[in-house]
Amino acid sequence: MGVNAIGPIEPGDNTYETRTVAADEPAARPAGARPLLTRHRRTALALATAAVVGAAGISLYLTRPRPPKPPPPLYPSQTVSVAYGGEMTRPRAGESTFSFTVSLSQSSGPPVSVRRIAQPTTALSVTAAPDTPFTVKTGSPRTARITMHIRECGKVQRNAGLPFLIVTLRNTRAMQIQSFILGSEYAKDLSEALTAACPPNTDVMSKTP
């Protein structure tokens, strides 16, 4: 029998409704799919976080407490001492040389170079063994043999009250010329040696090497 009714055809069993998607309506996404915009945001957030952490690390490095600089070493004259060691030789009248020992020691600090050993009067000159310069280190005293050369007896001071040696010292901080008084025993021995080499009322001339 024919169908005479006029109207829309109803869907039958096992059929699905279909419709046209508007142009501005977002298309359906498969289950589990993430929108592209979200991935971009996550990437930007990760980069921003990394930048903040990096900046914080740089700031922490630049502002971290720094250990104070170590103080400079002491001046060499503050760490080195010179003591009379004795063993003064006794010259005969007219002899131009005699010798004795001194001990050089250091209490602390970097090594000190002994650049020169001298004495204040022009009537005498000094040589040292070992030859200068030589080094003095903390905990390792050095013994030097000092030889006095009489240049002119008439100008020798036989009774110097507090004779001293002039020692030039150098370390990593400075170079200094320091006078070291060697004490009463040195003064006594020196006076006796000079009197023996240059008896009173003599004007013996002695030449230094």
Domains of the chain: 76-197 (2.60.40.10)
pLDDT of amino acid 48: 65
Whether the pTM exceeds 0.85: the reply is: no
* Helix, strand or coil, per DSSP, at residue 185: helix
Kindly list the averaged pLDDT for each block of 10 residues, start to end, along the chain of length 209.
49 50 52 57 68 61 76 94 95 94 96 95 93 96 96 81 89 96 93 90 49
Q: Which residues contact 155 (CB under 8 A, 6 or more apart)?
A: 121, 122, 123
Would you say 124 and 157 are in contact if contact means Cβ atoms under 8 Å apart?
no
User: Which class for 171: exposed (0-12), middle (13-18), buried (19 or more C-beta within 10 A)?
Assistant: buried
pLDDT at 18: 47
With beta carbons less than 8 A apart as the criterion, state whether 73 and 44 touch: no
pLDDT recorded at residue 167? 97
User: 27 Cβ partners below 8 Å, 6+ apart?
Assistant: 21
163 three-state secondary structure: coil
- CA-angle at 50, arms to 49 and 51, nearest 5°: 90
